[in-house]
Amino acid sequence: MTDQTNAGPGTESSAERVRALVAEMTLEEKLAQLVGYWEKDVAGRDVAPLAGSFDTGPGLEEFSRHGLGHLSRAYGTNPVDPVERARWLWDFQRRLVRETRLGIPALVHEECLTGLAAWRAATFPAPPSWGASFDPGLVERMGAAIGRSMRELGVHVGLAPVLDVVRDPRWGRVEECIAEDPYVVGVIGTAYVTGLQSTGVHATLKHFVGYSGSQAGRNFAPLHAGPRELADVFMVPFEMAVQAGVRSVMNSYTEIDGVPAAGDADLLTGVLRGRWGFDGTVLADYYSVAFLHLLHGVAADPADAAGQALAAGIDVELPTGDTFLGPLTKAVRSGAVDQALVDRALVRALTQKAELGLLDATFDDEPPAAVDLDDAEHRGLARQLAEESVVLLANDGTLPLRTGASVAVLGPNAAAAEALFGCYSFVNHVLPDHPGTPMGIEAPTVLDAVRAELAGTAVSHAAGCGVDDADTSGFAAARSAAEQADVAVVVVGDRAGLFGRGTVGEGCDRDDLELPGVQRQLVEEVLATGTPVVLVLLTGRPYAVGWALDRCAAVVQAFFPGEEGGPALAGVLSGRVNPSGRLPVSIPRSAGAQPYGYLHPALGGPGQVTNLDTTPARPFGFGLSYTTFRHDELAVAASAETAVGLTVSVRVTNAGDVAGADVVQLYGRDVVASVTRPVAQLLGFARVPLEPGESRVVELAVPPARLAFTGRDGVRVVEPGEVVVWVGRSCDDHEVEATVLLTGAVHPVPDGAPLTTRVVVS
C-alpha cells in the first residue's frame, strides 16, 4: 500500500489538535473544509438529480484556495487511466499541503457499491446478489478487496453500502439494496462495512432513512410510514452498522411526514448521535441541502437551507458547496446562522481527517507507478459471490443440461456484457456517455460463457428483441433457433442506467412489474415451439414472472452478477455449480400487490376479506438446489425469559448425492402481542456447505432485541407470551416447528443492546 500520510510522532491528541485548528481558522477556511468539489463530466451530462441547475463555479485551483474538505469522485466521473489520475491527485494534494495556509489535504471519496467505481476496476455482483448469497463472510472479504484498491489510489471514503430495506420493487434503486428483510440487510451490510474499514477506508451508510419506502416506488417521493415501521424496519440495519463502528452516514433524499431527512434533527442528531452514539461524520447526499429549498420547499433560500441542514446534523455538503460557501458565509456574518453550528460540523470533519491520517499527510511519497484493480483475488471473489448468489426458481429436471444437448442461447441480455452490472457500476454509470471507450475489464457474456462451458456442444444465438423497445422483427430468428435446438436458454431482464436511461437504476422506476419491452412476448414465442425453455433473468429487481414458473422447464434468477456472472450462470446451467442462492426479495405476484413484504401482519396477506391475493410467486428465502436438504431435530427450551432470548439448534443434512450449500433459516412469530406482528420474521440464518450425506448442527443464539418490537408507548420491548419458531426452505415453509413460552415481565430493550444472532455450526 502506498503511504499517503508520512505521519510523524506527535504529542497532541487528535481532539486537542482539531480544537487548536478550529480556533485559528477563518470563516472561509472553516467552510472550505465542509464542502466538496466535483469536476464536471467531460460529456456535460447531469450525473445527479438536477445537477444542471447548479453553477459549476470556479475551477478547482480557485475553489480550493482556502483549502478543501472533500474531492468528489476523482476517479469515477470520467474514464481516466488510474495511474495517470493518481499522479494528478498526488500533485493536487501536495499543492494543498504546500500552498494553502493550513496545509490540510482533501478527503477523497468515491462510489464503491459494486467495486471501486473507476475505469478498469473489478466490478462485483450488485447488492441483491449479496443478499441472495446469505454469506456475510464472503461480502466482508469483498469489501476488504475493494478497500485495498481504494487506499492504493488515495481514496479515503467509500459511498457505500446502501442499507435501504426493499419495500416496493417498482422503485428503481432496488438494484442497490440488499434485501427486503432488515436483519439480512444489517448483517450483510455490516459485513461490507467491516471489510472496507479494515483497510483504513471509511464506509458511508446510505440513505438514512426511509428512502426505499417512497410513495408508489417513485424516486424522491415522500415516505408514508409510522414511527413503528420506521423503527422496526427501516432503522434496524443502520443501528446494526453504527454498532459495528461505521464512520460515515449519508442522509436520505426523502421526507418523512413532511420533514425532509436532510433537515431532520430528530433523525440526524436525536436518533443517530443521541440514542445510538454515532460519533462520525454525516455527509449530505448530492445536492440534498439545496433541495431543502429547491424541491421540498421548507427553506426560503440557499442560506436558509444551509442553516437548517447544519442545525439538523449535516456536517459536509456534497458534491460541492452550493449552500455552504457563499450563502452560508453571508448568513453567519449576518448572525442568521450561529457560527457554533459551523464549528460543530468542522470538528467532526477534521476529526475524520485526523482518523484517516490526513492532518499529517505530506504526499511527499510517489503515487503508485502501476496498479491492478482487477487481479486474481478480485476475480476470484467476484466469481465466488456470483456463483453463490444465483437462485434457481423452478426446475422440472431439465437442469443441469444433459451432455451433448444442442442449445439455443436467445434473448436481449444473452450477448450483452453491460447486462451483468448495476447502475452504480462504472460500465453503466459513466461509459454510456463515452461511446467507443473500451469497458476496461473482462466480462464474458452469458453467450460467451455458455460456449466456453459447453465446449464441443452446438450453441446457436439470436437476440430476438431489445431490452426495452417494441421491435419484434427478431422473433422469427429466435423461433427458428429454438426449433433446431434441444434446449432454449432465453436470457432476459434489465439494462441499468440513470434517470430514465435504463429499465432499472436511480430514477428508473416502473408502473408495472412485467419484463420490459416485448421480452415476455419473446419468451411466449419460444415456448410455443415446444422446445424446453430455460429462462434466465438478469435483473436488478424482481419481476412478476409467475406465468413463467410453471410453463418454463427451468427459471434462473441472477441479480446483476458482475464481471464473473456469465461463467457463474453457465456453471449453473451445466451443473458445475450447484445453485445455492436464496431469494433476498419476494418474487411479486403483480404490481398491484405492491408494496409487499414478507414481514406483513395477518391482514397484509391473503384472506377472506379481499378478493385479491397478494401471495408472492416465490417467497422470501426460496431457492432450489440440485440436491435435497433435510432439517430435523429442532431443539429449543420450552420456556425462556424475556430478558434472555432464545437458543435454537437444528440439524441440516444433505440427503442427495451432490455437494451443495444450504441456507438454514430460523423464523419466528409472536402469537399475541400488544401491536400487530408479522406472520413470519427471520431471527437468524447460516450458510452451510455439505457433502452428500453429511449432517451438521446449527445453533442460533437469538438475543432479546431480535424478538423485540416497538410497543404502543414507543419503547422497544419483548413481551411475555407464546412465540412459534421454525426452520424451513423459505419464510412460509414450516419444515420443523416448536413453540416457546416467553416468561417474566415486559423487557425494555435499551439502545446499544446486541442485535445480531450468534451462529455456531458444528
Residue 318 phi, psi (nearest 5): -125, 155
- Tell me what pLDDT residue 5 has: 45
- Tell me what pLDDT residue 40 has: 72
Task: Quickly list DSSP for 358-407.
Answer: GGG----SPPPS---TT-HHHHHHHHHHHHHH-EEEEESS-PSPPTT--E
**pLDDT digits 0-9 by tens, 99-148:** 999 999 999 999 999 999 999 999 999 999 999 999 999 999 999 999 99
Residue 339 scores a pLDDT above 70: yes
Please give the domain boundaries of the chain with CATH numbers for all domains: 31-39+57-360 (3.20.20.300), 389-604 (3.40.50.1700), 629-761 (2.60.40.10)
Q: At what angle do helices 376-389 and 565-574 cross, to 10 degrees?
A: 50
- Tell me what pLDDT residue 9 has: 39
Contact 720, 744 (CB under 8 A): yes
Please report, as a single letter, which amino acid is at residue 196. L
Residue 638 scores a pLDDT above 70: yes
**pLDDT digits 0-9 by tens, 373-401:** 999 999 999 999 999 999 999 999 999 99
Residue 705, helix vs strand vs coil: helix
Q: Which of 370, 497, 372, 367 is nearest to 121 (CA)?
A: 372
- Tell me what pLDDT residue 52 has: 61
Residue 619 scores a pLDDT above 50: yes
* Residue that is written with C-alpha cell 499541503 in the block: 97
Contact 38, 77 (CB under 8 A): yes
Task: Quickly list DSSP for 420-472.
Answer: GS-TTSHHHHTGGGSTT---SS----HHHHHHHHTTTS-EEEE--S-SSS---
- Tell me what pLDDT residue 39 has: 86
Residues 6+ apart with CB under 8 A from 372: none
Bridge partners, residue 702, by sequence: 646
- Tell me what pLDDT residue 239 has: 98
CA distance 627 to 631: 14
**pLDDT digits 0-9 by tens, 296-318:** 999 999 999 999 999 999 999 99
- Tell me what pLDDT residue 598 has: 97
> Any idea how long the chain is?
762
Bridge partners, residue 157, by sequence: 109, 202
**What is the band of 413 on the pLDDT scale with cuts at 50, 70, 90?**
very high
467-493 as b/e: b if 16+ CB within 10 A: bbeeeeebbeebbebbeebbbbbbbbb
Residue 244 scores a pLDDT above 80: yes
**What is the band of 457 on the pLDDT scale with cuts at 50, 70, 90?**
very high
Residue 418 scores a pLDDT above 70: yes
Residue 412 scores a pLDDT above 50: yes
Laid out side by side, the sheet with 721-728 consists of: 639-641, 736-743, 721-728, 660-670, 681-690
Residue 743 scores a pLDDT above 50: yes
- Mean of pLDDT values over 249-258: 97
Residue 1 scores a pLDDT above 80: no
- Tell me what pLDDT residue 8 has: 38
Residue 351 scores a pLDDT above 50: yes
**pLDDT digits 0-9 by tens, 647-661:** 999 999 999 999 999
**pLDDT digits 0-9 by tens, 39-50:** 876 555 555 666
Question: Quick one: cell of 224?
Answer: 408514508
Helix (H) or strand (E) holding 203: strand 202-208
**pLDDT digits 0-9 by tens, 710-739:** 999 999 999 999 999 999 999 999 999 999
Q: Which of 486, 482, 478, 483 is nearest to 398 (CA)?
A: 486
Distances (CA, A) of 98 to 27, 67, 107: 20, 11, 16
- Tell me what pLDDT residue 501 has: 94
**pLDDT digits 0-9 by tens, 162-185:** 999 999 999 999 999 999 999 999
- Mean of pLDDT values over 258-281: 98
**pLDDT digits 0-9 by tens, 88-110:** 999 999 999 999 999 999 999 99
- Tell me what pLDDT residue 41 has: 61
- Tell me what pLDDT residue 115 has: 98
CA distance 568 to 139: 17
Residue 2 scores a pLDDT above 80: no
559-575 as b/e: b if 16+ CB within 10 A: bbbbbbbbbbbbbbbbb
**pLDDT digits 0-9 by tens, 503-539:** 999 999 999 999 999 999 999 999 999 999 999 999 9
- Mean of pLDDT values over 32-41: 90
CA distance 428 to 163: 21
Q: Are strands 695-702 and 639-641 parallel, antiparallel or unpaired?
A: unpaired
Residue 353 scores a pLDDT above 90: yes
Residue 748 scores a pLDDT above 60: yes
Q: How many CB atoms lie within 10 A of CB 277?
A: 11
**What is the band of 608 on the pLDDT scale with cuts at 50, 70, 90?**
confident
- Tell me what pLDDT residue 44 has: 53
Task: Quickly list DSSP for 224-260.
Answer: ---HHHIIIIISHHHHHHHHTT--EEEE-S-EETTEE
